[in-house]
Structures are given as structure tokens and as C-alpha cells.
């Protein structure tokens, strides 16, 4: 006959639960504890033992444990109030806290706070007085969803609502198990945020250049909110402020709150739709001040949550509004106290090479465990044109640098800073006051610079040959009150605008080649208007009309950097600082004008000779010789005056009575012919071959 051996834990339970103070006299409480631990062991939980007991103390009304609390727990210790308020006994609360202890020993802190609390409620018996069927309203349900997904500490209202949910859904008895129904309903903290996400944006225009991973889930930004906080300060030493930001020094930043402008802060964060920013805090309300810097509110919530595109727009607005304030972020990883100081030397060296401004932000549980990290990078430091934000679950913001460095090395090649920005003088006759920001896209302005938080302006123009209404993206600058208005935008937006005006029907390799020409000119065209170091938006440069209001937002069609390097080579070989292009075509044309008609057009008594001249930079001119003087005109002005299809290839006089002009195609006839490029593309030529045909020395 086999002898039945009882589990050893039944003999150890007396020593595994140690009662202290007045609780040692309560035999019934000891019996309750023994029975509860047996149940937990039978379900498969790890329970206290003689070698590793749990201690139960009578609670005192002090510290965070107030008269409203009936029980409390921390690993290895339980605190019970004798004769607690409400209708539940000490025994119920003891079972509740013993569940937390067993869950801690068995699940290792992996479960969200609401799961722990739901399981403890179900096990303790405190739900016995609740009847199924009492379901929460949609508003109440949404509130607890928000609290759960922010990993906020549950308050009394949350617990009461959770109790009703558990009564209706039940709870599994297996260790560390979660109710499938409630998990689907409430989810984990920041559920669906994705393991790793990133976004690369033009800091000038707000145009997204590259992205990966989840772009839609909303997360609190953590200490990234210190960027807009700093941008609102009325005055600050940039070097000192930069060091505080690089170290993410909350205490020192809070000492600057006298300079904080809450309305400016709200303006910069306006791209973020889901927010509950508190009113301006008082000195006696330190937690609200901390929430401005990305920490939790007093009730455990975060002031706002943002998806990556919204967060990038808000950070863009802050960086553009006070650029000098953030130059010290280039020291992140260099200063011993900075948040990236402990990262790998090769990754930090890359940041120095690219002259990157870097800021980290971490979202943690109430006990300090990282839930999600953010890393913001902007470069080059002297005049940033790129903004990147990375996000990853379960790590700190600093720990993301190793993954971010891999993309940075790729972007260093694919998105070089010298091909990132274009400046365009917008030569319209429209009053600047009519250049509107959208209703949901507020304007941020200082004396000579303006931008919108979403990146774009709507322009209603009365300028000749201009669209009556158009949208341009970027930052508007003026050198002084009466100086020209210059739009600084990204190359992709500029190329799209010029393609729409100059070559909207090009496709395939011809369009690819044309993109490269426009991008190259845009990046090299500051000599066209030396007074503002910019291009213009007329045919003197390249026609740029922005976008039609009804155009759908589009991702940038990235220009091939290999083609840009080829154009560098071809331009250097031909001594060009501008790459001309025209409508072109292969159709030959001839025009004849009598000498008298030509004299009338130019208001001259006699024209002795007309000569065609080409300069080293590729520009064509026409020199007119008169009896006592001569005149030099650009070929573009000359052919437009005579209404010729293009700049003539030859000009001859016949019998002194007639002038004959011969040419090919339409437009000014230099460089890349749009018509010829499309014909070459249809014949199988690639973009490189089309560009060599247009700008090679054999052309």
C-alpha cells in the first residue's frame, strides 16, 4: 500500500506567513492566510516559504498610506488596517495582497497593473456583492482604456469600474493568465505601438522623406516635451540651456519656469490632436509643471499622446522657433552628464561627423521600468535641414541610438545636406498679409520669418502668369521689412512644383533625368539672385508654382544621388553653374523678318548686324549692332520679343533686306530638351544616358 505524502508547503505555511504587532492575536486572520496560500499553490503560483516568508504588519496612517487605504503591499511585505472602512473585512484585503505577492513571485512583474489588480479582486472575494449585468457606459469605458494605455496608477473610480468588468467577464485561475475578453477590451500599456518605428522629415517644409514601422499609434513623448518647453522661454543662455537639455535635467529646467509661456507652448504642440494640457500651473502644483516636461500628471495620466508624424511636426515647430536655444544638443554624448554619454563610441562619432542635435525621451511605468523610448535627431547643427524621430518599445531613448545609427549611415549617403534645401524668391505682387495659414495650421512668426506648424501656406496671388491660388511648403524669410520674400523649402517639394509647371507630362527615365536637373539647379542656383541668395519663381530661373490646393499630399520621389554626382561632373567639365533646359523637340523651324519690321520692333533706325554669343556658363546672348552703339540681350528676351519658337541656332542677313532665323524645337534651346528626352526614354535610354546627351561636351 502506497503511503500518501502531503505537499511540503502545507507543513511550512505557519512559518511562511509571519504576523506582527496586534495581528498576531487574530487566529481567524492566520487561518484565512493559510487557506489563501493553499489555493494559490493549488493553482500553480509560487508561494512564500519558511526560507522566504511574507510579513504582515498592522498599517499606520502615515506617508502614502492614508485612512482611505485598507491594505497595501510591496514585495515581501503586506500592510493591513484593522477594522477597515467600508463593508469588507481584513480577511478580504489580506487575500487581495497575498495574490499580489504570489503574482510577483510567479510572473516577475510582466503583467500590467490593471491585470494584477483584476486578478487580486477576483481572488480576494471582494466582488461577491456585485451582480453581473451592470455594464459601464462608453464614456467610462474609454476613460479606463486611456488610463490603462498610459500605464497610469488606478484610482478608486478605476477600480470600481474594473470590478464591474471582471464580474461580467470572469477571470482565469492559471498563474499569470489574462482574461482574453478584457485584454481585447483594455489592452496593455501602449499596446500596438510597434517594436521599432522611425520617421525622417524635412525640417524646412515638414515633408516626410522616409519612414518605417508603426506611424499611427499614439504614445506619450516623454522628455522630448522639454524641446517645446525650452522653446517658449523668453530668455536663456543657449550654452547653459543646451547642457540642461542634453542631460535632460528636469530640476534645472523647472527653475526656468518664470520664463515659460504656456500659450506659446500650446501653439507649438497644436499638431498633436490627442492632448489634455493643464492650465498654467501654480508654484504649489509641481506635478503639473513636470507634466509640461513629459512626466505624468498628478492622477497618473500623461498630458498628451502623439503618433510619429504629429510628434515630428511639433518638434519641428519648436526647433524652428528658437534655433539658437538647441545648438548645445550637439554635445549630447560628449558631455559626461548627457543622456547619450554611455552609448558606443562609433555611434557617437557618427553624430559628431553629421553635426547632429540629439535629445532622448523615455516613457516609464510608475516604478521606473521603460515602456517606450524616443530619440530625436536634427542636423546639421549650424542650420538644421533634417529631423528624424525614432521610437522603440521596452527600452530607454538612449538605447535606440545603436539602431538609429544604422539608418543615419544610409541617410548620410542618400540625403546629403548640400542637396536638402532650396531658396526661392516668390515674385508675386500680393500683400504678404494675404498669405494664409490654414485654420488648423497655426502661424508661428517673428520679425522677419514665418512658418506654420503643418509646414504649408496658402497663397492667393494677383501676379501675372501665376496661379491665382497655390500652396507652398517651407519657411518664409525676409532680409528686412521691405526686402524680397524668400521661401526656404526642401528639394523634393521644389522639384515637384517645377515639374508641374515645366514638364508635367514627362514619364519614366526622362522624368527621372529632369528631376535630377531641377534638383541640381535648385541646390546651385543662389547666384541667380545674389541679393537674397535664392532662385526666383519665373522663367528667368525655373517656373515654380507650388502645388494646387486640391493636390493630394504625396511622399517625396527621391532624386537619385548618383545622377546628382554625374551632373556635378558634367557641369565641372563644361564650366556650368546652371543647367539649362527647354521644351525642345526635334522639329526644325525657319522665320524671316524684313529689316524694316526688325527696326520697328527694336525702335532703331538701322540694325547693322545681329550675332549669337554663348558664354562659359552656358547662357546665350544676342548682340545687336547699331551705327553708333550696340546692345546685348539675353537670347530668351530676344526670341520672346520676336515670338520665335526657341533661341535661334543661326541668324543670317539676305540682300540687306531680310533677316532669316533658323532653329530646332521650342524654348531657349539649351541643355536638356524635354521633347528629345522623352524620345530618348521611349527608345530605351536610361536617365544617365539622357543627361550625358544633354550636357556632355560632345553635345
Q: Choose the most confident range, by mean pLDDT, from 162-166, 367-371, 373-377, 589-593.
A: 373-377
Same domain for 521 and 594, yes or no, is: no
- pLDDT tens, residue by residue, 414-436: 999 999 999 888 755 555 666 66
pLDDT band with cut points at 50, 70 and 90 for residue 527: low
pLDDT of residue 368: 75
How would you classify residue 562: left for phi > 0, otherwise alpha for psi between -120 and 50, otherwise beta?
alpha
CB 176 within 8 A of CB 106: yes
Q: How far apart are the first and last CA of the chain?
A: 106
Report the C-alpha dihedral over residues 172, 176, 182, 187, rounded to 10 degrees: -170
User: DSSP letters of 362-405?
Assistant: EEE-TTS-EEEEEEEEEE-TTS--EEEEEEEETS-SGGGHHHHH
Q: Which of 398-407, 470-479, 492-501, 555-564 has the lowest average pLDDT?
A: 555-564
Same domain for 344 and 384, yes or no, is: yes
Q: Which of 480-489, 548-557, 561-570 has the lowest average pLDDT?
A: 548-557
Q: Which of 218-227, 283-292, 475-484 has the lowest average pLDDT?
A: 475-484
How would you classify residue 474: left for phi > 0, otherwise alpha for psi between -120 and 50, otherwise beta?
left
- Tell me whether residue 3 is in a domain: no
Look at residues 574, 592, 619 and tell me which one is the last residue of a structural domain: 574
pLDDT of residue 382: 93
Same domain for 567 and 604, yes or no, is: no
CB 302 within 8 A of CB 150: yes
- pLDDT tens, residue by residue, 199-233: 999 999 999 999 999 898 888 999 999 999 999 99
- Tell me whether residue 285 is in a domain: yes
Q: Biggest alpha carbon distance in the chain?
A: 137
pLDDT of residue 529: 61
- pLDDT tens, residue by residue, 25-54: 888 888 999 999 999 999 999 999 888 899
Same domain for 262 and 376, yes or no, is: yes
Q: What is the CATH number of the domain that holds 379?
A: 3.40.710.10
- The answer to pTM > 0.85 is no
- pLDDT tens, residue by residue, 327-362: 999 999 999 999 999 999 999 999 999 999 999 999
Q: State the pairing for strand pair 609-614/208-212.
A: unpaired
Would the pLDDT of 524 be above 90?
no
Q: How far is CA 205 from CA 42, 287, 416, 550, in A?
A: 63, 35, 17, 18
Report the C-alpha dihedral over residues 10, 15, 16, 18, rounded to 10 degrees: 140
Does residue 265 sit in helix, strand or coil?
helix
Range of the domain at 639: 581-670
Number of domains in the chain: 4
Rg (CA), the chain: 36
Does residue 506 sit in helix, strand or coil?
coil
Mean pLDDT of 88-100: 90
Same domain for 626 and 501, yes or no, is: no
Would the pLDDT of 583 be above 90?
no
CB 99 within 8 A of CB 105: no
pLDDT of residue 9: 44
Same domain for 182 and 223, yes or no, is: no
C-alpha cell at 318: 519648436
According to DSSP, the residues that pair with 422 across neighbouring strands are 489
Look at residues 517, 544, 574 and tell me which one is the last residue of a structural domain: 574
Dist. CA 459–CA 471, nearest whole Å = 6
pLDDT band with cut points at 50, 70 and 90 for residue 653: confident
Does residue 522 sit in helix, strand or coil?
helix
The sign one gets for the Cα dihedral 549, 551, 552, 555 is negative
Look at residues 146, 163, 186 and tell me which one is the last residue of a structural domain: 186
Helices vs. strands in the chain: H and E counts, helices first: 22, 28
Amino acid at each position: 500500500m502506497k503511503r500518501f505524502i502531503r505537499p511540503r508547503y502545507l507543513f511550512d505555511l505557519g512559518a511562511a506567513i509571519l504576523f506582527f504587532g496586534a495581528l498576531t492575536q487574530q487566529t481567524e486572520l492566520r487561518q484565512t492566510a493559510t487557506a489563501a496560500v493553499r489555493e494559490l499553490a493549488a493553482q500553480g503560483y509560487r508561494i512564500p516559504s519558511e526560507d522566504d516568508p511574507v510579513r504582515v504588519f498592522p498599517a499606520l496612517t502615515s506617508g502614502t498610506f492614508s485612512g482611505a487605504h485598507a491594505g497595501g503591499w510591496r514585495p515581501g511585505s503586506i500592510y493591513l488596517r484593522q477594522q477597515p472602512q467600508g463593508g469588507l473585512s481584513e480577511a478580504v484585503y489580506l487575500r487581495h495582497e497575498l495574490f499580489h505577492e504570489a503574482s510577483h513571485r510567479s510572473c516577475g512583474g510582466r503583467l500590467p497593473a490593471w491585470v494584477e489588480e483584476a486578478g487580486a479582486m477576483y481572488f480576494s472575494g471582494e466582488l461577491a456583492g456585485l451582480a453581473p449585468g451592470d455594464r459601464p457606459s462608453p464614456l467610462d469605458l474609454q476613460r479606463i482604456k486611456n488610463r490603462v494605455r498610459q500605464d497610469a496608477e488606478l484610482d478608486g473610480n478605476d477600480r470600481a469600474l474594473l470590478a464591474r468588468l471582471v464580474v461580467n467577464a470572469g477571470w482565469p485561475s492559471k498563474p499569470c493568465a489574462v482574461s482574453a475578453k478584457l485584454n481585447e477590451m483594455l489592452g496593455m500599456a501602449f499596446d500596438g505601438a510597434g517594436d521599432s518605428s522611425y520617421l525622417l522629415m524635412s525640417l524646412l517644409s515638414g515633408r516626410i522623406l522616409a519612414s518605417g514601422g508603426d506611424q499611427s499609434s499614439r504614445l506619450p513623448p516623454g522628455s522630448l516635451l522639454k524641446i517645446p518647453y525650452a522653446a517658449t522661454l523668453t530668455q536663456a543662455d543657449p550654452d547653459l540651456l543646451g547642457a540642461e537639455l542634453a542631460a535632460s535635467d528636469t530640476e534645472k529646467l523647472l527653475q526656468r519656469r518664470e520664463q515659460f509661456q504656456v500659450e506659446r507652448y500650446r501653439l507649438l504642440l497644436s499638431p498633436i490632436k490627442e492632448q489634455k494640457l493643464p492650465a498654467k500651473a501654480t508654484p504649489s502644483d509641481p506635478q503639473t509643471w513636470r507634466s509640461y516636461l513629459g512626466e505624468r500628471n498628478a492622477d497618473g495620466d500623461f498630458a498628451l499622446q502623439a503618433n510619429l508624424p504629429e510628434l515630428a511636426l511639433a518638434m519641428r515647430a519648436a526647433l524652428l522657433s528658437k534655433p539658437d536655444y538647441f545648438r548645445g544638443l550637439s554635445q549630447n554624448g560628449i558631455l559626461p552628464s548627457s543622456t547619450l554619454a554611455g552609448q558606443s563610441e562609433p555611434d557617437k562619432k557618427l553624430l559628431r561627423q553629421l553635426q547632429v542635435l540629439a535629445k532622448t525621451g523615455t516613457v516609464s511605468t510608475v516604478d521606473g521600468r521603460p515602456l517606450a523610448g524616443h530619440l530625436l535627431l536634427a542636423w546639421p547643427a549650424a542650420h538644421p535641414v533634417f529631423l528624424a524621430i525614432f521610437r522603440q518599445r521596452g527600452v530607454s531613448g538612449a538605447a535606440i541610438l545603436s539602431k538609429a545609427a544604422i539608418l543615419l549611415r544610409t541617410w548620410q549617403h542618400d540625403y546629403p545636406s548640400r542637396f536638402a534645401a532650396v531658396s526661392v524668391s516668390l515674385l508675386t505682387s500680393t500683400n504678404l498679409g494675404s498669405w494664409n495659414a490654414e485654420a488648423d495650421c497655426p502661424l508661428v512668426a517673428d520679425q522677419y520669418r514665418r512658418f506654420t506648424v503643418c509646414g504649408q501656406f496658402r497663397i492667393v496671388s494677383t501676379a501675372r502668369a501665376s496661379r491665382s491660388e497655390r500652396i507652398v511648403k517651407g519657411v518664409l524669410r525676409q532680409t528686412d521689412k521691405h526686402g524680397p520674400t524668400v521661401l526656404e523649402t526642401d528639394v523634393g517639394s521644389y522639384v515637384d512644383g517645377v515639374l508641374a509647371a515645366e514638364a508635367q507630362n514627362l514619364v519614366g527615365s526622362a522624368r527621372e533625368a529632369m528631376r535630377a536637373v531641377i534638383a541640381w539647379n535648385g541646390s546651385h542656383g543662389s547666384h541667380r539672385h545674389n541679393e537674397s541668395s535664392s532662385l526666383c519663381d519665373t522663367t528667368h530661373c525655373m517656373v515654380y508654382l507650388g502645388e494646387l490646393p486640391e493636390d493630394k499630399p504625396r511622399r517625396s520621389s527621391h532624386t537619385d544621388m548618383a545622377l546628382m554626382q554625374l551632373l556635378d561632373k558634367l557641369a565641372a567639365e563644361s564650366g556650368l553653374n546652371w543647367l539649362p533646359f527647354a521644351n525642345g523637340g526635334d522639329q526644325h523651324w525657319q522665320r524671316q523678318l524684313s529689316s524694316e519690321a526688325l527696326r520697328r520692333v527694336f525702335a532703331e533706325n538701322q540694325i547693322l548686324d545681329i550675332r549669337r554669343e554663348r558664354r562659359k556658363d552656358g547662357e546665350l546672348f544676342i548682340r545687336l549692332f547699331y551705327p553708333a552703339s550696340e546692345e546685348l540681350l539675353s537670347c530668351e528676351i530676344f526670341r520672346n520679343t520676336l515670338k520665335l519658337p526657341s533661341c535661334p541656332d543661326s541668324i543670317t542677313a539676305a540682300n540687306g533686306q531680310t533677316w532669316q532665323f533658323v532653329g530646332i524645337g521650342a524654348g531657349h534651346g539649351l541643355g536638356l530638351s524635354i521633347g528629345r528626352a522623352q524620345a530618348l526614354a521611349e527608345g530605351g535610354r536610361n536617365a544617365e544616358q539622357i543627361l550625358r546627351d544633354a550636357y556632355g561636351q560632345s553635345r
